[in-house]
Amino acid sequence: MVDLPRNPTREVRIGTTTIGAGHDIAIQSMTATHTQDIDATVSQVNALAKAGADVVRIAVDSRKDADALAEIAKQTNANLSVDLQENYRLAEHVAPHVAKLRYNPGHLYHHEREKPWEEKVRYLVGIAEEHDCAMRVGVNCGSVDPEKKAKHDPADTVAPMLESALDHCEFLDSIGFTRYCVSLKDSDPKHVIDVNQRFAEARPDVPLHLGVTEAGMPPDGVIKTRIAFEQLISKGIGDTIRVSLTVPNDRKPEEIVAGRQILADIAAGRVRSFVDFGLDTLNIISCPSCSRVENEAFIDLAASVKEMTAYAKEHAITIAVMGCRVNGPGETDDADLGLWCGPNFVNLKRGPRELGAFSYEDILPRLKQELDTVIAERELSATPS
């Protein structure tokens, strides 16, 4: 076993689990069922807890979701976390039933825009303190506060994420709330490593939740996540983790199994380095299946995209396959080709430019056409004149 260092982060209690301050690294996952399907969500929560999840996160996007959460919480002993989206005021309806609230600084921007974000965070803190909840400041590459992005070079995706996280930490500390952790997630392991290392250097006291968002299907998704975790955890960075995989609902516990295996391998010294990962080969990213996915055909589509594009594996092209309208539009912008799925159609993009919406039956031939065009254009530009 390797005697790994640990950053001297402060202790944060999440229900019956405590992270930071040298405690074991906790493992988390998120339900992929529709929250209002109470029986299915309870079943998945309990399956994840049985697999060893220390915290299970549930998405709440509406008051009906919040009402369902109240019933779900009655039927499980798992430590529940709630994922707040744009409507941050749902916090008061869900906090009585969970151990942690997660908010995204970028999403705070969209609701009640006339209010400063500090006022919204102060409200969330009041709710958290009233109901004995921890909080997570969840910064995501595809939904960074527009005001932060505007201050930096568009090519620098890490700097606005880092600034957003640090600003929120400073404000939370200033109002006396320290029961929080931070996550800084990207679909590129290199960016995850970079931004978390920089944050940990600036704020070594704040517990970090590690994850590679839209890591994709196994085994690729596990490999991408392993790259980031190995390089961060081996340096003492990270207090809780989530492995985000695109898998059918009945396979969600694989996220927990994968996380525990990665931690065990790191502790045993079985650490690999992929310094040039993703630079010279095809890279397919796809979001983890969650309750916001509007058509489960998304899972099959992600697998079909991987199979269809295998012929382009030697080309440094990124294809993003996203399952919903919440994260899909923004988080496909940096991909060479991006797909985000609606209930009956798939939106196709080339970089930030939208190419149209196609049926699930028609999307693969059109994607291949665009992929061939990208390959041809790059080969032409690489040919000496």
The whole-number average pLDDT for the span 108-112 is 84
CA proximity to 111, closest of 80, 90, 127, 136: 90
Three-state DSSP at 12 gives strand
Question: Which amino acid is residue 313, in one-letter code?
Answer: K
Number of domains composing the chain = 2
Q: How is residue 43 written in tokens?
A: 């079943």
Range of the domain at 348: 283-382
Q: Do residues 259 and 290 both lie within one domain?
A: no
Instruction: Report the DSSP pairing between strands 353-358 and 346-350.
Output: antiparallel
Measure the CA–CA gap between 255 and 278, rounded to whole angstroms.
22
Three-state DSSP at 185 gives strand
Decide if 143 is inside a domain: yes
Q: Which residue has the higher pLDDT, 328 or 58?
A: 58
Q: Do residues 260 and 288 both lie within one domain?
A: no
> CATH number, domain at 289?
3.30.413.10
Measure the CA–CA gap between 98 and 134, rounded to whole angstroms.
9
Q: Which residue has the higher pLDDT, 267 or 181?
A: 181
Residue 133: partners with Cβ closer than 8 Å, 6 or more residues away: 95, 98, 99, 100, 101, 127
Q: Which of 267, 300, 325 is the last residue of a domain?
A: 267
pLDDT at 192 exceeding the cut of 50: yes
Q: Which of 235, 267, 299 is the last residue of a domain?
A: 267
Q: Do residues 355 and 220 both lie within one domain?
A: no
Q: Do residues 177 and 289 both lie within one domain?
A: no
Q: How many other CB atoms are found less than 10 A from the CB of residue 64?
A: 11
pLDDT at 1 exceeding the cut of 60: no
The whole-number average pLDDT for the span 116-141 is 97
pLDDT band at residue 371 under the 50/70/90 scheme: very high
What are 26's strand-pairing partners? 240
Residue 154: burial class (beta carbons within 10 Å; 0-12, 13-18, 19+): exposed
Residue 72: C-alpha distances to residues 89, 233, 343 (Å):
20, 33, 25
Q: Give the pLDDT score at 210.
A: 98
CA proximity to 85, closest of 140, 125, 123, 127: 140
Which segments within the chain are labelled E, that is strand? 12-14, 17-19, 26-30, 55-60, 80-84, 100-103, 134-140, 180-185, 208-210, 240-242, 283-286, 318-322, 337-341, 346-350, 353-358
Three-state DSSP at 240 gives strand
Q: Do residues 303 and 371 both lie within one domain?
A: yes
pTM value > 0.85: no
> CATH number, domain at 190?
3.20.20.20
Decide if 272 is inside a domain: no
Q: Do residues 156 and 79 both lie within one domain?
A: yes
Q: Give the pLDDT score at 214.
A: 80
Sign of CA dihedral 273, 182, 206, 133: negative
Q: Which of 238, 267, 296 is the last residue of a domain?
A: 267
Q: Do residues 42 and 143 both lie within one domain?
A: yes
Residue 214: C-alpha distances to residues 89, 142, 192, 288 (Å):
27, 11, 12, 6
Contacts for 144-153 with beta carbons within 8 Å, 24 or more apart?
144/105, 144/106, 145/105, 145/106, 145/108, 145/109, 145/117, 146/106, 146/109, 147/109
Q: Do residues 344 and 261 both lie within one domain?
A: no
- Looking at 25-34, 81-90, 117-126, 328-337, which range is the least confident one? 328-337
CA proximity to 136, closest of 80, 97, 214: 80
* Helix or strand holding residue 222 (H, E): helix 220-233
The whole-number average pLDDT for the span 141-161 is 88
